[in-house]
Structure 1
């Protein structure tokens, strides 16, 4: 393995750890809002109402409920995302300095999507089940942590259950990563060089990436959140959301997602760049 790949892997590892710790509480709020279970079952919960309801009814610790699985998987995922993106970018000769270069960056990010989906689908599935555990009839089911939830789902439903929503998540990953990396490359090269250029470019990349792929994320969350009921397809789930909540239903939880995306992506790209620099310095 070349030194550049090792440096990118170390940078991705750093990005995964930092981004997960910073962004997880907002991700939990977003999931509750997407599944319309944010504030005591309200159909249109707000960011602050959802946050207050979680803290009041479940305690501060609930903001990190289910964090163990994403902390592990997102560290692996970001390592894969950054290394696979750079691999595909080099293969496509995308420099990011021209329109053709940016198109190459978008394609390289999109090609990383199916690889990312293999890791992120089960991570999202377990995280979603943990995050909506408060609304189960008869009380919470997964009270002993993420690993216990994994074992329980495997025992009850088999390994295939961990890949509920894989199709919608793969499409979402392709859309998100393509926009994510292309936006970062464009802004990083376009902004005046300073200590803020990386976090600002990274934060904007995360926000733009989430806006472009958010309806797919909402569909995916509802497909996974309906478990263990019979799985519905992407189109059927999308139509159901539109019928019950209108077009705005596809953007439920967008506010915490954008805040989270800016903070997490800004810190994630900063951690990546610092990690690559530190590795190369050693």
Structure 2
């Protein structure tokens, strides 16, 4: 594999990370607030619009981007890793990163990228989740000086290991998500009519399908990280507790903003990736 091709994939992943984070962060914040809500039923849970209005009315519009610095940095790194590692594993199976290698191979290549992604995404999710629910704390917010200060506070009080709270559940989630994500994109890209919309539509659908398939694991991860500094349960313990207190609907709290975000972000992310690779190769 020529080094220039790897660099092109890296640049494409970098572009995907920046564009996707800026577009999707407000909806991700709303999703986290809905996932960690203490409500006990879907009917009484706040809706997408209610949560948006509540945040803007009580915390101002800037709160929608609270904690964005860490994911802007980490998701840029993460998407660079995701796209390059996925293409690497795809080449292992077929010898070429450009050709469609079949659904099962694409799914496996994406899943193998999951443990690599989790090393970066777990601390990013931990810091982001803590900041996104900060205004819900009794006694007032703790993290008022940005993402990096929040990370320092968490490390100072609880050690570096605290940043990897929920790592197991996040790794399983990443494997499930990335496998479905890349396989869906490749299948749709291969079968959709060739047009300017084929990449964003395939990417948007890939994001939506990926989130639906892995969403209960994301909800478990959010609750493990959101309950900090209390002792965290295992994936099964936390999932069982959510089911007991909120029912099956509790594992899908915040799904609506996640699907909207997933379609918009993934459509723009794959478009940014393809444009980034094309631009790099032109240069």
TM (norm. structure 1) is 0.96
The answer to whether structure 1 residue 280 and structure 2 residue 268 are counterparts is no
Report the CA distance shift for 1:185/1:234 in structure 2 as closer, same or farther (over 3 A): same
Partner of 1:172: 173
> Could you tell me how far apart the structure 1 residues matched to 2:67 and 2:175 are?
25
Per-residue CA distance 1:29-67 (angstroms, 9 max, x = gap):
0000000169xxx96111011000000000000000000
- How big is the shift at 1:192? 0.3
The answer to whether structure 1 residue 12 and structure 2 residue 13 are counterparts is yes
- How big is the shift at 1:126? 0.1
The answer to whether structure 1 residue 52 and structure 2 residue 62 are counterparts is no
Partner of 1:81: 82
Per-residue CA distance 1:200-246 (angstroms, 9 max, x = gap):
00000000000000000000000000000011111110011001110
> Could you tell me how far apart the structure 1 residues matched to 2:197 and 2:95 are?
24
> Could you tell me how far apart the structure 2 residues matched to 1:103 and 1:230 are?
38
Gaps of at least 5 residues in structure 2 are none
> Could you tell me how far apart the structure 1 residues matched to 2:145 and 2:46 are?
27
> Could you tell me how far apart the structure 1 residues matched to 2:116 and 2:209 are?
21
**3-state secondary structure, aligned to 2:113:** helix
- How big is the shift at 1:94? 7.7
**3-state secondary structure, aligned to 2:237:** helix
**3-state secondary structure, aligned to 1:274:** helix
C-alpha RMSD of the superposition: 1.5
The answer to whether structure 1 residue 158 and structure 2 residue 162 are counterparts is no
The answer to whether structure 1 residue 129 and structure 2 residue 125 are counterparts is no
Partner of 1:138: 139
Higher alpha-carbon deviation: 85-94 or 155-164: 85-94
Partner of 1:36: 37
The answer to whether structure 1 residue 270 and structure 2 residue 253 are counterparts is no
Structure-to-structure mapping, 1:219-238, within 5 angstroms: 219-238=220-239
- How big is the shift at 1:199? 0.1
> Could you tell me how far apart the structure 2 residues matched to 1:260 and 1:101 are?
27
Contact 1:94 1:105 in 2 (8 A): no
> Could you tell me how far apart the structure 2 residues matched to 1:14 and 1:37 are?
37
- How big is the shift at 1:101? 1.7
Structure 1 runs of 4+ with >3 Å offset: 94-98
Higher alpha-carbon deviation: 29-38 or 140-149: 29-38
TM (norm. structure 2) is 0.96
Contact 1:94 1:102 in 2 (8 A): no
Partner of 2:107: 106
Number of corresponding residues: 278
Gaps of at least 5 residues in structure 1 are none
> Could you tell me how far apart the structure 1 residues matched to 2:282 and 2:197 are?
21
- How big is the shift at 1:11? 0.1
